[in-house]
Chains A and B, each alone.
Chain A
């Protein structure tokens, strides 16, 4: 068998586990191992390597499901989604969609949203950051209402019927999977994910604050943005702007 055919057969056997006769003839095993056993060294390594990569990118999903279920699911995903990337950090792009179709989504209906949030986190993480510059110093308070706030770095808001932001932060704060049983994930949450310098941060928001940011992101000026979030408590408004300042969210103030 020439080497090209060997490679084709070898790749097949990694996913199907039927060892073709030609492979048996070509492979010289090591020690006391037989052909099945040496191939399974490579098969197990493949599944382990890619599952670990999924665990790294979707650690909140891992936190929710616990070790056994997460790695069972990861193995299924790896076996049905061969890698076509060179950089493992790009593997698992379809994992959030895949979660939608699993039985776990019934028990934890937020898995898809949570995985998508983690994907945004990593997308932001790998973008180039710029050092923070405080835009508030030069601000003339009288002109505040007419200002448009531009967000020059990556950011997005999100809303969920579930406690996505808290789950995400819990995992980032390195809680163990055993803590997930005490976790109340049934509270609706709104949040803002942003990049500032080299860090990616997350701010919990009220629904009103989330509306204001959405309006600002659409290019509306401050007074229009506040007006459209009509019922909002003035305290929430000032809290929002101090949060943006204290978290050093990058902003450009444009008149």
Chain B
């Protein structure tokens, strides 16, 4: 394991969740390097959540992470949505902007889930056009995250990792690599997660997500309801050996613990998972 230890400590952040708002208002300064906020949670509010995020932003770097861009959806992302995101970007000046390599439903029926896509030329052309449009509109680079998928599509002709590398090369986007999603998929879809990491071009990887999953017996489910598992930490070390200093986020979205528990995971990530 020693060979994976990285002398350069990554910047490690946590998700900004409203359950911790009272802690931010009265507790000690959070011991994290950055926060990541769900973009959509701040598009239609100028109330208390917005006051808090502005306060957080004045003290910490912030990443904006979207869940509704639906890059591979039937229709282009709606203009009013893009405009709202752009004005949020102008106010909060995030150091990273990301969304997912997926579709989320149709404009009349949003499933609010990150749905799998076929990795083939047809989808790639669709995504290249969309990513370029979005980046041109925001005037910023966008990172694309690999998702957990409980099925794959028979019309896929490429590996997900190759597909993402190619998207980055041709559109100028970056990769937000979710190590837990790779692990969950590797068990469910039966592939070797280390080989997946070997295929990723790490020069495109600008952020990492780490999260916990649940074993439901027949399959692993990406619940974000606990700390990352040992096997996910092993993969994290393997990834850091390829490129160091990648901003890393601890995601915890269900059964959210007290903030101090998240700070422990942040410290652990800074020790490369040990």
State the B residues within 8 Å of A (CB). Answer: 40-41, 43-51, 68, 72-74, 78, 81, 103, 105-113, 115, 117-118, 122-123, 126, 150-155, 188-190, 218-219, 221
Once the chains bind, are B46 and A42 in contact (CB under 8 Å)?
no
Once the chains bind, are A10 and B46 in contact (CB under 8 Å)?
no
By a CB distance below 8 angstroms, the chain B residues around A86 are 40, 43, 68, 78, 81, 110
Interface of B: prevailing SS: mixed
Given known contacts A3-B123, A3-B155, A6-B153, is B47 in contact with A49 (CB within 8 Å)?
A: no
Given known contacts A11-B109, A27-B153, is B40 in contact with A126 (CB within 8 Å)?
A: no
Once the chains bind, are B151 and A27 in contact (CB under 8 Å)?
yes
Question: Can you list 13 residue pairs at the A/B interface with Cβ under 8 Å?
Answer: A3-B122, A8-B106, A28-B152, A41-B221, A46-B112, A46-B113, A83-B109, A84-B110, A88-B40, A88-B112, A124-B47, A125-B47, A128-B47
Among B43, B48, B118, B221, find the residue whose CB has the most chain A CB atoms closer than 10 A.
Answer: B48
Once the chains bind, are B111 and A11 in contact (CB under 8 Å)?
yes
Among B81, B108, B117, B152, contact of A82 (Cβ-Cβ < 8 Å):
B108
Contact with B along A1-19 (1 / 0, CB 8 A): 1111011101100110000
Among A3, A14, A84, contact of B107 (Cβ-Cβ < 8 Å):
A84
Does A101 belong to the interface (CB within 8 Å)?
Answer: no
Once the chains bind, are B41 and A127 in contact (CB under 8 Å)?
no
Once the chains bind, are A33 and B218 in contact (CB under 8 Å)?
yes
By a CB distance below 8 angstroms, the chain B residues around A46 are 111-113
Given known contacts A33-B218, A84-B107, is B45 in contact with A89 (CB within 8 Å)?
A: yes
Given known contacts A31-B188, A129-B47, is B113 in contact with A42 (CB within 8 Å)?
A: yes
Given known contacts A46-B112, A86-B43, A198-B47, is B189 in contact with A30 (CB within 8 Å)?
A: yes
- C-alpha gap A126/B46 in the complex (Å): 5
A32 to chain B, nearest CB (A): 6
- C-alpha gap A35/B154 in the complex (Å): 13
Once the chains bind, are B74 and A4 in contact (CB under 8 Å)?
yes
Chain B residue nearest in CB terms to A56: B18
Does A165 belong to the interface (CB within 8 Å)?
Answer: no
Does A45 belong to the interface (CB within 8 Å)?
Answer: yes
Chain B residue nearest in CB terms to A90: B44
- C-alpha gap A30/B185 in the complex (Å): 9
Given known contacts A30-B188, A31-B218, A46-B112, is B150 in contact with A41 (CB within 8 Å)?
A: yes
- C-alpha gap A49/B48 in the complex (Å): 23
Among B78, B103, B190, contact of A7 (Cβ-Cβ < 8 Å):
B103
- C-alpha gap A230/B112 in the complex (Å): 54
Among A11, A49, A199, find the residue whose CB has the most chain B CB atoms closer than 10 A.
Answer: A11
B66 to chain A, nearest CB (A): 9
Chain A residue nearest in CB terms to B117: A3
Given known contacts A84-B110, A87-B68, is B40 in contact with A38 (CB within 8 Å)?
A: no
Once the chains bind, are B112 and A30 in contact (CB under 8 Å)?
no
Chain A residue nearest in CB terms to B116: A27
Once the chains bind, are B41 and A87 in contact (CB under 8 Å)?
yes
Does A97 belong to the interface (CB within 8 Å)?
Answer: no
- C-alpha gap A3/B119 in the complex (Å): 11
- C-alpha gap A27/B111 in the complex (Å): 18
A212 to chain B, nearest CB (A): 28
By a CB distance below 8 angstroms, the chain A residues around B106 are 7-8, 11
